[in-house]
């Protein structure tokens, strides 16, 4: 049977209370009393808990072996020593005050105090103390339990519960407690308090490409940089993953909070060295003031998260302040996501086709497939709104496959209508392109629709190529082996180099419409476009200009030797039926 600490104390205390009178009358006791006394004396001396008997002056009168062991004294040397000398210096006056104010009616149960052990080390103890009277003298019996190890474990457990083990920063739980206290204490309307939610941009790339150990190393480096930005009134915490939170209290000016957000972004400008290479990090930051933007912990953090989300969806590497208008915008996006998830099953999407022509001859040679959404809830939704949302939610995979299926079926219709030379171009998102089964999906659609692979052109952006070059090259080689044409879309807006373009098995370069738009007013842009066309031709690739909206642009592009073009000057995006009509008119 195992006794708990309180039961042990009761048994020991009972033994001492019975033993003490007998011990003090050793000369007058009977043989029977001697046997009884011996039993209790053995229990007293063998007690696993230190036991001391104190007089009215708090001097040690008796102590058992465990007490001698704990405090490192000899029985002969301790008599009449003041018990208070064994307490930690800061506890001695407290013990003295308590003892003398309560004696002889002391009744302590589990009073926690700090004492000094045999080697002078600090020990935390629980003291149970009762008084008894014998021959007109009062004594206090103290039973001591060493809880130093337990307190150490509790302290460690509390630390683990409130801190992030990787960075040593307070965790979300600790941050929420601190924010709760800040909200309760906020009473100075002349100062500014805020929560900044900091989310690293594209951090997943580090984990995915270099491994989680490198990801952890990045977080440690960034933690130290962020720490250097904070003042004494700010708290930095790691919320989890690649997300940090900062609590700012008592800022004298609103601009102080803005400056902190800018500093947090500025310290990320220096690269982080990993495995011999430099990597650059950026962050999206959401700012929520309180109590103006929320008067509860959940509301303040939620609103900072909304602002951060807006910063991230706006391109990242920037900060945003929460506002009611922003909240309404985010709510609309959340509602729109729900509608988007149903749209494909409810046939709300449709595909338009924007004709592409040979610039020299003016002959239509293909079209780009463009997905559109006519929502029952929102009407016609701009692709600028629903495409990013589809990418964020993963719905782009299902939607992208549907668009390619529709486009290939339509291109097969063109072939049956006598336009066998027409090609169809389909935009593919980064998320869709990086799917392991992407090539198999393309292969399956071509087989199902019967379209010649040479009539399909897949458009990807420069960023798709650069992010995972080795994977991309393998994927492109497999697509080209099928006969599919590959086009780099929005060329000039990314980071492609000549050497990179030479490596890629692409056949088409599509100049971004922003260059075409500026050609009219900016002479230097015309020179850039001409250089792009010349360079692309030297690489043996075809050039397509998008966004042609005027005869002047078309004339310049023809003079520069641009191969193909599309834009409203040529034709607007057409429905499948209108596209058929357009082909009949130009045949």
Domains and CATH numbers, the chain: 5-151 (3.30.450.20), 163-322 (3.30.70.270), 336-586 (3.20.20.450)
Contacts of 197 (CB under 8 A, 6+ apart): 239, 243, 244, 245, 285, 286, 287, 288, 301, 304, 305, 307, 308
- What is the residue-level pLDDT of the chain in tens, covering all 587 positions? 334 455 455 555 555 554 555 455 544 455 555 665 566 667 777 788 899 999 999 999 888 989 988 988 765 555 668 899 999 999 999 999 999 999 999 999 999 999 999 889 999 999 999 998 888 899 999 999 999 999 888 888 888 889 999 999 999 999 999 999 999 987 777 789 999 999 999 898 888 888 889 999 999 999 999 999 998 789 999 999 999 999 999 888 889 999 999 999 999 999 999 888 888 999 999 999 999 889 899 999 999 999 998 899 888 999 999 988 877 777 777 788 889 989 988 999 999 999 999 999 999 999 999 999 999 988 999 998 899 889 888 899 999 999 999 999 999 999 998 888 899 999 999 889 989 899 999 999 999 999 999 999 999 987 777 666 777 888 999 999 999 999 988 776 655 555 667 778 899 999 988 899 998 888 889 999 999 899 889 889 999 999 999 999 999 999 999 999 999 999 999 999 999 998 888 76
User: Could you tell me if 95 and 116 are in contact, meaning their C-beta atoms sit under 8 angstroms apart?
Assistant: no
Please give the C-alpha separations between residue 130 and each of 85, 141, 361, 399, in angstroms, as whole numbers: 20, 5, 110, 79
DSSP three-state, residue 115: strand
Rounded to whole angstroms, how far apart are CA atoms 35 and 41? 10
The pLDDT score that the predictor gives to residue 418 is 87
Q: Which two tokens stand for residue 103?
A: 């004696």
Name the CA radius of gyration of the chain, rounded. 40
* Strand ranges for 160-230 from DSSP E: 192-200
* Strand ranges for 242-311 from DSSP E: 243-251, 272-274, 277-279, 283-290
Rounded to whole angstroms, how far apart are CA atoms 143 and 586? 105
Q: Which two tokens stand for residue 234?
A: 């700010």
Q: Which two tokens stand for residue 417?
A: 């209508």
Rounded to whole angstroms, how far apart are CA atoms 261 and 322? 14
pTM of the model: 0.57
Rounded to whole angstroms, how far apart are CA atoms 563 and 207? 42
In the DSSP assignment, the letter for residue 179 is H
In the DSSP assignment, the letter for residue 493 is S
In 3D, which of 109, 141, 144 has the Cα closest to residue 13? 141
Please give the C-alpha separations between residue 3 and each of 20, 119, 145, 242, 381, in angstroms, as whole numbers: 24, 30, 14, 48, 72
């Amino acid at each position: 049977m195992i006794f708990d600490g309180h039961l042990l104390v009761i048994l020991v205390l009972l033994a001492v209370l019975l033993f003490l009178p007998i011990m003090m009358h050793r000369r007058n006791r009977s043989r029977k009393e001697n046997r009884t006394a011996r039993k209790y004396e053995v229990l007293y001396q063998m007690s696993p808990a230190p036991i001391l008997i104190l007089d009215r002056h708090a001097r040690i009168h008796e102590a058992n072996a465990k007490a001698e062991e704990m405090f490192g004294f000899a029985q002969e040397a301790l008599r009449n020593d003041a018990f208070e000398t064994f307490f930690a210096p800061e506890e001695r006056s407290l013990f003295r005050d308590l003892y003398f104010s309560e004696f002889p009616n002391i009744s302590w149960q589990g009073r926690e105090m700090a004492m000094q052990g045999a080697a002078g080390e600090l020990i935390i103890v629980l003291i149970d103390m009762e008084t008894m009277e014998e021959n007109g003298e009062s004594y206090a019996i103290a039973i001591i339990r060493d809880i130093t190890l337990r307190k150490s474990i509790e302290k460690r457990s509390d630390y683990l519960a409130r801190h992030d083990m990787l960075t040593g920063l307070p965790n979300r739980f600790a941050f929420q407690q601190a924010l709760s206290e800040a909200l309760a204490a906020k009473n100075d309307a002349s100062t500014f308090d805020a929560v900044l939610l900091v989310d690293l941009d594209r951090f997943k790339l580090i984990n995915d490409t270099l491994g989680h150990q490198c990801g952890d190393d990045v977080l440690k480096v960034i933690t130290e940089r962020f720490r250097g930005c904070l003042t004494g009134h700010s708290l930095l915490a790691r919320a989890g993953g690649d997300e940090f939170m900062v609590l700012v209290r008592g800022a004298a000016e609103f601009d102080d909070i803005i400056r902190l957000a800018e500093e947090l972004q500025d310290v990320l400008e220096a690269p982080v060295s990993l495995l011999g290479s430099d990597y650059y990090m950026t962050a999206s930051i959401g700012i929520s003031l309180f109590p103006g933007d929320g008067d509860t912990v959940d509301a303040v953090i939620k609103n900072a998260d909304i602002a951060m989300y807006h910063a991230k969806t706006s391109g990242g590497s920037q900060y945003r302040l929460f506002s009611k208008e922003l909240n309404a915008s985010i709510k609309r996006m959340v509602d729109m996501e729900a509608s988007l998830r149903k749209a494909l099953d409810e046939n709300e999407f449709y595909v338009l086709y924007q004709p592409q022509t040979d610039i020299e001859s003016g002959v239509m040679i293909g079209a780009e497939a463009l997905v559109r959404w006519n929502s029952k809830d929102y009407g016609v939704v701009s692709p600028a709104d629903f495409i990013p949302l589809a990418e964020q939610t993963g719905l782009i995979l299902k939607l992208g496959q549907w668009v390619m299926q529709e486009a290939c079926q339509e291109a097969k219709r063109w072939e049956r209508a006598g336009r066998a030379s027409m090609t169809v171009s389909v935009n593919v998102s980064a998320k869709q392109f990086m799917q392991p089964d992407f090539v198999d999906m393309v292969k399956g659609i071509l087989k199902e629709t019967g379209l010649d692979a040479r009539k399909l052109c897949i458009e990807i952006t420069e960023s798709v190529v650069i992010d995972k070059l080795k994977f991309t090259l393998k994927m492109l080689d497999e697509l080209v082996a099928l006969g599919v044409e590959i086009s780099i879309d929005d060329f000039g807006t990314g980071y492609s180099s000549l050497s990179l373009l030479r490596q890629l098995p692409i056949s088409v370069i599509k100049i971004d419409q922003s260059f075409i738009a500026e050609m009219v007013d900016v002479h230097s842009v015309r020179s850039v476009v001409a250089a792009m066309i010349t360079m692309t031709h030297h690489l043996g690739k075809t050039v397509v200009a998008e966004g042609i909206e005027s005869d002047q642009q078309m004339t310049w592009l023809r003079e520069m030797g641009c191969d193909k073009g599309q834009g409203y000057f040529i034709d607007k995006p057409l429905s499948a039926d209108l596209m058929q009509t357009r082909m009949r008119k130009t045949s």
